[in-house]
Amino acid sequence: MGSSYGGTVIAKKGLNLLAESTVGNAYAIYAWHPNNIQDMHHSKVILNGGTMQARSDDPSKSAYSLYVWNGGNIIGKSGKYTLNGRIAAFSGEKGDAYIDMTFEPGSTITGNSYYSDGSEINFDMKGTTWNITEYSNINNLTFSDNDSVINFVGNDYTTLEIENLTGNGGLFNLRSSIAEDDGDYLYIINGSGSHKLGVKDSGVEITKPDEIEFPLVTDESGNTHFALTKVDGTNINAIDGGTYLFYLHNRDEDGEKIWYLSAEKQIDPDPTDPNPIDPTPPILETTPSTDAVISLASAPQLIMANEMNNLRFRKGSIKANAESAGVWGRVIGDSTKIKEGPAHFDLEQMGLEIGADTVLTLDSGSLLIGGMANYSWSDVKHHRGGKSKVDSYSLGLYATYFFDNGFYLDGVLKYNHFDNELRARSTQGDIVSSDYSQHGYGLSLEAGYDWDLGNNLWIEPYGKLSYISVNSKDIKLSNGMEAHIGSHDSLTSELGFSFGKDFNLENSTIFSPYVKFAWNHEFIDDNKVRINNRHDFVNDFSGDHIKAGVGFNAKIQDDLSLFGEVNYRSGSYIDDSVQANFGIRYNF
């Protein structure tokens, strides 16, 4: 490209320039005094879209996509541009220099901008992405739509200084390390309009989150408004800051407005006492990742408990089980909504279990001894986004003594291996993950009575005591969060009864429907989780819940029977729960 002294160069649309240098600075477009584009008085370059890129192999030198000096001007008319390299404007003896660009949708800028006193850089952005790599300043920045974004992407945290900000809907994506009191910064001298801040924190644990006010923006004019968003511009209420959430606030300071992050959620003052002498300490809200760790820590014990239900639920008719040895299999399902502090999730469990047993005839009754194997797969749907998975593999032994007078004693011993896949979603929409394994042991003892009421009616009251223990585990998440999951234990008692009637049908089939009611109490209230070796949380599932259900046992032949039961549960930590169990037994 070239021009006469004091001339103007007009570039057609589709201009593509690549400047490369191995030993010095590289310039895609350079307007200055004197000499044409590099040697003319008040030289002017008029652009109509295109690509301007510059690269220098010398790390001590710079690469400029646009450079004006000493009276040079670059005017980028409305068009689609791709700029890769620094943008600079410097005044000199022959006059001021300026760059004035109007970007249409699809334009991208990668690099920093810098102007000296007396010079100007002006951007009018529409549907444009600007990736800032180091400190930048700009005279006039206008957002002409809601689709432009400025990303801070350099190797180090940096600052963008804007003399005049106009328009609406601009998105500034900043990075922060709240724990280290460092991050990208936005400084506005004269501002207006409503804009967006996307902030992504490093995840380093914050020592005293309730005492921190982390600044993001200084607005000297105090006229600019900001809202917190994801990096894609979607509105959010808070961002992840280690264990706890941080919210966007603003304050007036010496006539300026400072926008900052704080773990204190914005709460309207009490109109009856807006300035209390002893204000209530702020309530900190945990991040989705924290909640997911706490929730998944409790899931294995709940999964084991669902597998270790009472005898009739597990194996059908007590009378049929007492008669002879056999093999059996069942399908189990559970849908439970858990809400206990940060542990807020839906557990969806499906499983298969098979077993075999033999009968020993004794003086006062019969002893059934057997073994079983189980595989179940569960989804843990986190209330605040993400879905974790748990695969459970178990082996167990059981023994049931059936007394001739109708009483029975039942014992179960189980071992479970859990493969856990934690998948949470951060406030910015990123997937946070961790895969780890655990094992658990379970023991249950049950006593009951099979009471014949006459007219084929019967009732079976029972009492049951269960203990479950899942081992502790240290885990690390993909976002850097660390957690120590303490041993999670469960000790429950259950009292209940089943009431039903036997119907003798054709071909010696006996169909026995029944209803069931039970009360369950959890004793343990201190299962602990520690996040980032600093913050302690407790999974407390203690308390009562009730159980109501319907079931059936169908003796199809002397050696073949079907059974099933569906229960509804509700209680202290259970919002809503449905358990189902369907099986088949073949007696030898």
User: Of 217, 243, 263, which residue is a domain's last?
Assistant: 263
Q: Is residue 285 part of a domain?
A: no
Residue 534: partners with Cβ closer than 8 Å, 6 or more residues away: 205, 207, 243
Confidence of residue 374 (pLDDT cuts 50, 70, 90): very high
Report the alpha-carbon distance of residue 516 to residue 439 in Å, rounded. Answer: 32
411 is a domain residue: yes
Residue 536 lies in a domain: yes
- On whether both 354 and 490 belong to a single domain, the answer is yes
* 17 or 50, higher pLDDT: 50
Q: What is the pLDDT of residue 68?
A: 87
Find the mean pLDDT for residues 316-343.
82
Q: Are residues 120 and 248 in the same domain?
A: yes
Q: Please report which helix (H) or strand (E) contains residue 306, including its range.
A: helix 288-307
Residue 423 banded pLDDT, cuts 50, 70, 90:
very high
Find out whether 497 and 516 touch, Cβ atoms under 8 Å: yes
For Cα atoms 530, 438, 327, give the angle at the middle one, nearest 5 degrees: 145
* Whether pLDDT at 28 is above 90: no
In a domain, 437, yes or no: yes
Q: In the predicted model, is pLDDT for residue 432 greater than 60? A: yes
Pair 252, 175 in one domain: yes
Q: CATH no. for residue 239?
A: 2.160.20.20
Flag whether 425 is in a domain: yes
Peptide bond into 513 cis (omega under 30): no
Q: Are 531 and 290 in contact (CB under 8 A)?
A: yes
pLDDT of res. 5: 37
User: Confidence class of residue 446 from pLDDT cuts 50, 70 and 90?
Assistant: very high
Same domain? 238 vs 384:
no
Q: What is the pLDDT of residues 557-577, one digit of tens each?
A: 888 999 999 999 998 888 778
Using the predicted structure, report yes or no on whether residue 185 has a pLDDT greater than 50.
yes
Residue 367 lies in a domain: yes
Model confidence band, residue 272 (pLDDT cutoffs 50, 70, 90): low
Of 523, 527, 526, 587, residue with least CA distance to 557: 587
pLDDT at residue 270 tops 60: no
- What was the pLDDT predicted at 202? 86
pLDDT (0 to 100) of residue 43 = 65
411 and 524: one domain? yes
Least confidently predicted of 89-103, 159-173, 193-207: 89-103
Q: Please report the pLDDT score of residue 282 as a whole number.
A: 63
What average pLDDT does range 424-451 have in this prediction?
95
Tell me, yes or no, whether 210 and 326 share the same domain.
Answer: no
State residue 10's pLDDT score.
60
* pLDDT above 80 (res 35): no
Same domain, 179 and 320: no
| Stretch 203-212: mean pLDDT | 86
Structure confidence at residue 278 (pLDDT): 53
Note whether 284 and 241 are within 8 A (CB): no
380 and 240 in a common domain: no
Q: Is the pLDDT of residue 252 over 90?
A: yes
User: Within this chain, do residues 447 and 359 fall inside the same structural domain, yes or no?
Assistant: yes
Residues 254 and 360 in one domain: no
- C-alpha separations of 197 from 4, 6, 138, 235, 287 in Å: 46, 44, 19, 9, 19
What is the DSSP annotation of 340-381?
ETTEEEEEEEEEEEEEEEEEEEETTEEEEEEEEEEEEEEEEE
pLDDT reading at 493 higher than 80: yes
Residue 151 has pLDDT above 90, yes or no: yes
Which pLDDT belongs to residue 296? Answer: 96
Question: Whole-model pTM?
Answer: 0.84
pLDDT on residue 207: 84
pLDDT digits (tens, 9 = 90+) for 519-562: 999 999 999 999 999 899 999 999 999 999 999 999 998 889 99
CA pair distance 214, 428, nearest whole angstrom: 18
Mean pLDDT for the stretch of residues 324-345: 88
> Do the beta carbons of residue 80 and residue 108 sit within 8 Å?
no
Least confident stretch, 306-315, 464-473, 518-527: 306-315
Residue 40: the pLDDT is 42
- What is the per-residue pLDDT for 24? 67
| DSSP codes, 314-335 | HHS-HHHHHH--EEEEEEEEEE
pLDDT at residue 312 greater than cutoff 90: no
For residue 4, what pLDDT is reported? 30
> Do the domain assignments include residue 277?
no
pLDDT of amino acid 3: 32
Over residues 243-247, mean pLDDT:
94
Per-residue pLDDT at 474: 98
576 shares a domain with 449: yes
Rounded to the nearest 5 degrees, what angle is found at the Cα of 196, between the Cα atoms of 190 and 202?
110
Listed in sequence order, the residues at least 6 apart from 381 whose beta carbon sits closer than 8 Å to its beta carbon are 345, 346, 347, 348, 387
Q: What is the mean pLDDT of residues 253-261?
A: 94
Token pair listed for 245: 């959430």
Instruction: Write the CB contacts of 220 (distance below 8 Å, at least 6 apart in sequence).
Output: 188, 189, 190, 191, 255, 256
Share of the chain above pLDDT 90, in %: 66
- Give the structural domain span for 238: 8-263
The residue among 263, 281, 303 that closes a domain is 263
Reading the block at residue 468, the tokens are 């479950």
- Residue 453: predicted pLDDT: 95
Q: Are residues 259 and 298 in the same domain?
A: no
User: What confidence score (pLDDT) does residue 1 get?
Assistant: 40
The verdict on residue 370 lying in a domain is yes
- Residue type (1 letter), 85: G
Weakest mean pLDDT among 28-37, 98-107, 140-149, 454-463 = 28-37
Identify the CATH number of the domain in which residue 439 sits: 2.40.128.130
**Mean pLDDT across the chain:** 88
Spatial neighbors of 254 by CB under 8 A, at least 6 apart, are none
Long-range contacts at 222-225 (CB < 8 A, ≥ 24 apart): 222/252, 222/255, 222/256, 222/257, 223/190, 223/191, 223/192, 224/165, 224/188, 224/191, 224/192, 224/193, 224/194, 224/195, 224/257, 225/193, 225/194, 225/195
Beta pairing partners, 133 = none
For the chain, what is the largest distance between any 2 Cα atoms, rounded to a whole number of angstroms?
Answer: 120
Q: Total domain count for the chain?
A: 2
